[in-house]
A = this chain, B = another copy of it.
Amino acid sequence: MKFKIIDVATRAGVAPATVSRVLNDSSKVTPKTRDKVMKIINELGYQPNAAAKNLRSQKTMTIGVIVPDISNSYFSEVIKGIENIAYSKKYKVVICDTENNEEKELEFLNLLTTRTIDGVIMVAPMLANEVILQIADNGYAIGIVGKQIDHDRIPCIVTDNVKFSMKVISHLVELGHREIAFINGSAHAVDSYDRLEGYLKALREHHIPFRPELIEIGNFNETGGYEAIHRLFAKKIPFTAVYSANDEMALGVYRACSELGIQIPMQLAVVGVDNNRISKYITPPLSTVNQPKYTMGALLVEKLIDMMNENEYAENRVFKVDSELLIRGSSDFKKNGQESLK
């Protein structure tokens, strides 16, 4: 049996409006009436109908999240952060896994215009900035994780790519490396620019000449990393370390090295980015950069919800968070051995 507000109202001898007030604990109701109403609500197991509520209140308490690949632990961690905060604030979360498909990304944004969701968070969006800006201009709530977009109604959270890339290179230099190759992500990703910038900046700081031949593009996936390191080897330029712009590509490096009998880290030091769950379990464990994925999701959704409810305004719109370099056996061979899997 499905009850509605009127059922509760009549049984409690009050008007529907009063029941509504009790439910949304608007203060203007005497404890006595409140108790009376609550009793009936519990007796009947009454639950308000969400659709009616949504229609009337013009919001759905739902946030959409668009990610390129939900089974990539980077994204699922971000989602966890979003989800947890969202639920604690009574919001639901609808997920869209685009499978790196730009059209699916665009299509999902329709949920905003149909008012199925109150706002959307795009994680590492592929869509052109203009499209995203347009949406914000149309008054829809939108937030971005992993890319910075300049619009005073779009909160963004990004990691300081330049900074941690410098940390990585400095770490390798301190270990004595001077010829450090760099496998970058896709050429059009903003992250790629920044990571390259950090790479160059660090080299300059350490007075190491920069050699463009040591840079390759790996498109952020395992195969890309595998092919990139092969291209690097093919050049016959000596290098003793490689900075891979993410862990996935580093897996490709491991595969190539395993095939060619190249020892990590003795013959080649490797550092990745992401602290992918896998990175800890491979042999040797991969040195990597740990981005605060959960926190990034959590922080951004909080900001977005605040903005939607206009508790807060545009200032402090872009968050740049720091990442931590995890030194493991792939760069520092002293770190190898027994404790590697701890």
Residues of A within 8 A of B (CB): 45, 47-52, 54-55, 58, 60, 62, 70-71, 73, 76-77, 79-80, 83-84, 87, 92-97, 104, 110-111, 113-116, 251, 254-255, 258-259, 277-278, 281-283, 338, 340-342
Contacts and interface: CB of A to CB of B under 8 A. Distances in A.
B258 A338 contact: yes
9 contacts: A50-B114, A51-B58, A62-B94, A71-B277, A83-B96, A87-B96, A254-B341, A258-B341, A259-B341
A96 B84 CA distance: 9
Contacts of A84: 97
Contacts of A87: 96, 104
Given A83-B97, A92-B94, A116 B50 contact: yes
B70 A115 contact: no
Contacts of A62: 94
B97 A95 contact: no
Given A94-B92, A258-B340, A338-B258, A51 B281 contact: no
Given A48-B114, A49-B55, A341 B92 contact: no
Given A55-B55, A258-B341, A281 B49 contact: no
A253 to B, nearest CB: 11
Given A47-B110, A277-B71, A116 B92 contact: yes
A148 to B, nearest CB: 25
Contacts of A342: 255
Q: Which of A50, A111, A113 has the most CB of B within 10 A?
A: A50
Given A51-B51, A71-B77, A71-B277, 15 more contacts: A45-B113, A47-B113, A47-B114, A54-B55, A70-B76, A79-B97, A80-B97, A83-B97, A92-B94, A94-B94, A251-B281, A255-B342, A258-B341, A259-B341, A278-B281
Contacts of A110: 47
Contacts of A259: 338, 341
A2 to B, nearest CB: 8
Nearest to A259: B338
Contacts of A76: 70-71, 76
A114 B49 CA distance: 5
Contact of A282 (B48, B77, B282): B282
Contact of A95 (B55, B93, B281, B338): B93
Top 6 closest A-B pairs, CB basis? A51-B54, A71-B76, A51-B55, A283-B283, A255-B341, A50-B116
Contacts of A54: 50-51, 54-55
A258 B79 CA distance: 33
A340 B254 CA distance: 11
A50 B83 contact: no
Contacts of A278: 277-278, 281
A50 B64 CA distance: 14
Contacts of A283: 282-283
Contacts of A92: 94, 111, 116
A52 B341 CA distance: 54
